[in-house]
Amino acid sequence: MKTNKIFLLLIVITSLFSACRKYDEGPAISVRSRKERIANNWKIDKAYSNGNDVTQYYTAYDLEFTKGGDAKLIANFNIGGTVFSFDSKGTWSFEDNDEKLRLDLENNLADKTYNILKLEEKELWLKTVGGEDELHLKPR
């Protein structure tokens, strides 16, 4: 009888933790707030478009987010031995009950809204809303 109670308790605890999961890829629970987890200098570790690996096209990009909502996109391209730098400042915000991330940058071509798939201290996975691009970011 005692084994049944322990088993039932484990089922209840497991279902509670899976109900707490905000994003498809986790985490189930975190002691750090979402703003604290997103505030970082991120580099693109993996990039996919329509399921195809396109990481090689994203290696020059960095994204910086502060807890206060400031954002900066930085890109450094080396073309024929000449380095070209690009940066655009702006803001980021959570939308749709913190399930989406909105970037509003000076360069409007870089403005995007992403579904947040994973938000951990050392991993951020984003997928463009209405698109097929998925970015997996890690701290720089």
Q: What DSSP assignment string belongs to 15-37?
A: HHHHHH--STT--S--SS-HHHH
Question: What's the CA gap between 44 and 124, in Å, rounded?
Answer: 9
Question: What's the CA gap between 44 and 140, in Å, rounded?
Answer: 9
| Contact partners, residue 50, CB within 8 Å, separation at least 6 | 132
What's the full length of the chain, in residues? 140
Write down the H helix ranges in 28-116.
34-38
At 122 the pLDDT is 96
State the residue for tokens 């050392």.
Answer: 122
Interval 9-57: pLDDT, tens: 556 555 444 434 555 545 555 568 999 999 999 999 999 999 999 999 8
Environment class of residue 45 by beta-carbon count within 10 Å: exposed (0-12), middle (13-18) or buried (19+)?
middle
At 38 the pLDDT is 96
Question: What's the CA gap between 67 and 42, in Å, rounded?
Answer: 14
C-beta of residue 86 within 8 angstroms of C-beta of residue 74: yes
At 72 the pLDDT is 97
Residue type, 47: A
At 18 the pLDDT is 43
Interval 85-138: pLDDT, tens: 889 999 999 999 999 999 999 999 889 999 999 999 999 999 999 989 999 999
Q: For residue 136, which of 128, 121, 124 has the smallest C-alpha distance? A: 124
C-beta of residue 87 within 8 angstroms of C-beta of residue 105: no
